[in-house]
Structure 1
């Protein structure tokens, strides 16, 4: 069958590796964003400078044109005042005033011409302005003794038309400046729009790249999540298989213990018992004989008795026959009696409604946990009293071993440190394989309590057993 080719993004990831591609993508996105910020700042600075320069030029031109216009009116007013009072002193004052105004106009025209770019003052206006001042310049001399009619005629013929013409030209210049300002505003708006378009294009590119990188990141995250889920499933499967293997090993171990215990008890134990009987018969047959052979047979019988007892002890340690033949409670009672005889620690045993028949994994688990707990108590606790409680409830079997010993410090997981917690770790593993729960409660100076609960499947209801306390 035909197989679909992987997407280009997958081939790119496979060729270059996912992390380098993502790093490069993030670097490009950050670079585009940085360039966008720099471009926005540059546009803002440039447009602000241009706009400020345009308005500064407009205000400067208007101010100088207003100066020209004001000087025209002042010149006419000064001439009128001179005509009202035509004296040599007034003529001297008019001459000084006209020279001052004329110098101001010259400075204004020079400033406008030196602007960059030069202000577009029409040459005709400059020529008319020079002619106006040329007409007014000899007035203090030529019109000092003129009659009122001559003075009026001079004003109407020379000053009023020229001043009106120049004033209209100045208004045209102001209108032209305003039009240039509007043109500048339009150009500024167009430049601002183009700059905004460039900036939006860069931001759009950044957003697009961000979406692409985000898509690759999400895909990479999904791949990692799938790999993590797959690894977790594999670990769980390996853990489950390991638990099954551990449970099977415990079953094989218990079966081996049971078989070996039976072999020791039934075969070797019986053989040694027969040997002991034969020795006893030999001793009976040697009655009245010398003491040498009898003493040797006595030692042999004593050795056979000790060997039989050792075999029985080993058989009990491997797998007590009571556990299989009589059930959990008698096996625990025998274990506590042996523990008290061996260690000298007072024992108390309490059982409540425990059935005679229990599933073999359940009773084996309870027996081994109690056995390990008693071993730890004898070896580490230094206690003077031990209490073992076993009770059966609907759907579960509970057991508890408590002592008044020295106790120990638990870690965050409720277990002692590994230097002294291997036995308890084995208890926890055995209980977990049986599907139960384990609780360990201990602290320095407060003793230790080990409680476990195992689930029970529905069994034929046993005859109720009255709760009792059996001193071991």
Structure 2
């Protein structure tokens, strides 16, 4: 029985260990990997957004510088052309062709700058750009009469004031408007860049908050799980210590019980069987003496000897039946239970009502032995503790289950959880060993009911008889 209890404790410990071996590390690993992935993704996303923002700012600054530089060159060409026209009017020695070639160079440079400005300004303000191109072309064409036969100085100065200066001023105004537009575009783009920077800050803030939340969740889960595991470990350690103490106590009690059983058996053999053997030897001696002298007491002595032999046979049979009833194997479970009920009633003068429902002949040997021992132990407990006057034993065979109950009207018990004896523990362990269940209902003054339920295999009992007799 101690081995069964040890197996039960081992199974309980294995169950607790399996619960404690719940795979926590994959959850924590996935959470940590998710946190790491979120951080890496956040860094890459921030880097990408920052690169886009910086590239946009660089493009914006480069465009602004390019527009500003080309407008400045155009304005410079206009100023240089005006200076060239003034020098031409004041200089009467230098041929006009030299001034014309220099003016053409200025115009060529201005047209080149205008061509470079076109992709920069065409999409933003095509109207002003077309107007700038038109005014520039008119400005450069207005110089043609100055070099084509206009000889009177007064006419030249008047032409310069009437034709060239207004057109130059118009071009300068358009250039200023374009520069103002460029500044406006720069300001708008700077605002857009600031908005992107705010979005980047918001993204950083949300990513940091998500990372912190995930990290906090992982930390909380890990701490809670560690606390749970520590609690389970402490509980398991406490249960293990209690199981060890219980095993040690039960082992010591089992040794004492075995010694007590051996002492009782030795007492029975010595006091009863030994005295009967001594009396038989004395009767045989009397018979020998009576036979020697031819006394008529020989026949009475032999009858007394036969009576002693019968008593010894009954005693040996009772001892054997107490250890392992042969009728359980020869006649079956129901006759063995009936004999046990009669013997208990005869010995303790307490009536036992046995009720059997169903066929018990084809039960496997483990189930038959278990039922017999459970009823035997329950009756023994009734005799020792309950002070009952009536006992009812009921055995019901179902298709897949076997129900056994032993009910008495004794004094009952306050609780079964604190019971420290081998009786009820042996019943529970024996039933548990063949996958059965045990329930004990009791209360002070209300009697006790021991109820067990055993599974009944579908196989034929002839096959089950080949099972080892370890349950005996």
TM (norm. structure 1) is: 0.45
Judging by fraction of residues, say which structure has more helix: 2
TM-score, with length taken from structure 2: 0.45
